[in-house]
Structure 1
Amino acid sequence: MSLFVSMHVDCPECDHTNTMDAVGSVNADRRPDLREDILEDRFQIIKCANCDTEFRLQPEFNYLDVENGLWILAMPADGVADYIENEDKTTALFGTSYGADAPDAAQTVGDNLTCRLTFGWLAAREKLVLRIAGLDDIIVEMMKMDLLRRMPGAHFDIGVELRVTSVSDENLELAWVRADSEEALEFMAVSKEAYFSVENARDQWGGIEAQLTDGPFVDIQKLFLGGGRNQDAAE
């Protein structure tokens, strides 16, 4: 089921204390309206009762979507700095919910789920957009790396990320965004040929793919955050 808890949140504009139902978990199969709210970027947005400013809490919930074969632990954007610790938390939670430590019936469900960890709303939404479009998020992240190598105007500021916002028959629409505020800095359209080019040369990406998939946080950000899991284990 989908779980919500009532909590008090202060408006970032006027400091008025508002009450809202904050999400703890989403079952998109039972509540497809919540899936749609995430896709439409309107989930968990609250309007201040005092000044009408709209804002939303950073995500901290798990998302189950059996129809689309996806399970996500969505965390606040600033949690990315501790992604290895959060990967371990994600793996453990998925394991007890749908993995090896879960009841047999839940394991049967889990066999058809992809487990992912995300940071910030736009990252969680991106995973859902890609899954519904039938695209492999691992290939997409490697495609982003390929784009960055050839893109003279890439944004490399701290907290700025490259996210897929939509997928059409011909293109992937991407945006440079600020993870915490969700502000879009620049948009671009990339032909699906860029995706298929990486997919067809997947064997040449073995080292990068291994780093991307050494935990449930499948995102090029992890490639820029120090030595990663292997170095952490060596130390």
Structure 2
Amino acid sequence: MSNVISKEVTCPRCNHTSSAHLFISINATNDPQFKRDLLSGQLLSYKCPDCGYEGRYMYPLLYNDMKHRFMVYLIPQIDRFQLEDRALEDDYRNLKGIQKRITADFNSMKEKIFVFESGLDDMAVELTKYAISEMVAKKYELGRVTEGYLTMYNREANTIGFTFFIGEDSEPFVQSARLEIYRKSMKIVNAICGNDKKLSGFIKIDREWAENTLFRYKRVKSGR
């Protein structure tokens, strides 16, 4: 079941302190309404009852989807690749074959949920996103495009799409591609990512991981 606690929070604008209900875990299978509230942003929204300041709560939050057999652990600004939480592992010791990921921000958490619900491999998605982001950067003569998320997947139409945020104003730009690029990424994952898939605990599969994986793949292909 989902887990909620009461905690005193302080407004960053006026320093007013108030009590808030914070979800530290969400069971998406048993509590679909909480899932909808999370994805809409409502669950983490904050409004100061004194000055009216609006923002978003950012704290560790575990998302558990028993139906699709994955967990996403949001830990704001975490910079570790792997996290083994013994207490958490003990709580879910009876669960086998669960994909476990950590993300450092809310949008990345939402993306992982979309990826796994769509039946996609998030490692192949990250490699695909990286390749398409390089195309977008070249098209707009940018050094690189680092922020982007999977926002569309249509198996019947053979299409996958990402929304990237480009320029100083972070303007959204949607770029779609045929699923062939995802399938090629999946071949890379199958070829060299076996050890990553066997890691215990929660792991972070993001752009940095994609860059390192492509580097390893090129070294393997070149025979180094």
TM-score normalised to the size of structure 1? 0.71
Query: Do the aligned partners of 1:212 and 1:220 also contact (CA within 8 Å) in 2?
Result: no
Quickly say closer, same or farther: Cα 1:200–1:223, change in 2 above 3 A.
closer
Query: Do the aligned partners of 1:46 and 1:55 also contact (CA within 8 Å) in 2?
Result: yes
Task: Kindly state the Cα deviation for residue 38 of structure 1 after the two structures are TM-superposed.
Answer: 2.2
Aligned length: 201
3-state SS, counterpart of residue 51 of structure 1? coil
Percent of pairs with identical residues: 20
Match of 1:69 in 2: 69
Query: Do the aligned partners of 1:59 and 1:121 also contact (CA within 8 Å) in 2?
Result: no
Query: Structure 2: how far apart are the matches of 1:208 and 1:186?
Result: 33
Quickly say closer, same or farther: Cα 1:188–1:200, change in 2 above 3 A.
same
Structure with the higher fraction of residues in helix conformation: 1
Equivalent position amino acid for 1:30 in 2: N
Which of 88, 110, 113 is the aligned partner of 2:98?
A: 113
Unpaired runs of 5+ in structure 2? Answer: 213-224
Query: Do the aligned partners of 2:118 and 2:153 also contact (CA within 8 Å) in 1?
Result: yes
Equivalent position amino acid for 2:37 in 1: D
Query: Do the aligned partners of 2:34 and 2:43 also contact (CA within 8 Å) in 1?
Result: yes
3-state SS, counterpart of residue 147 of structure 2? strand
Which of 91, 96, 113 is the aligned partner of 2:90?
A: 96
Query: Structure 2: how far apart are the matches of 1:186 and 1:25?
Result: 30
Once the two structures are superposed, residues 186-212 of structure 1 have per-residue CA deviations (whole angstroms, 9 ceiling, x without a partner) of 231313x1x432314533466874697
Query: Do the aligned partners of 1:72 and 1:117 also contact (CA within 8 Å) in 2?
Result: yes
- Establish whether residue 136 from structure 1 lines up as the match of residue 125 from structure 2: no
- Establish whether residue 221 from structure 1 lines up as the match of residue 220 from structure 2: no
TM-score normalised to the size of structure 2? 0.74
Quickly say closer, same or farther: Cα 1:176–1:18, change in 2 above 3 A.
farther
3-state SS, counterpart of residue 90 of structure 2? helix
3-state SS, counterpart of residue 135 of structure 1? coil
Quickly say closer, same or farther: Cα 1:50–1:123, change in 2 above 3 A.
same
Match of 1:233 in 2: none
Query: Do the aligned partners of 1:26 and 1:63 also contact (CA within 8 Å) in 2?
Result: yes
Equivalent position amino acid for 1:161 in 2: E
Match of 1:47 in 2: 47
Query: Do the aligned partners of 1:142 and 1:208 also contact (CA within 8 Å) in 2?
Result: no
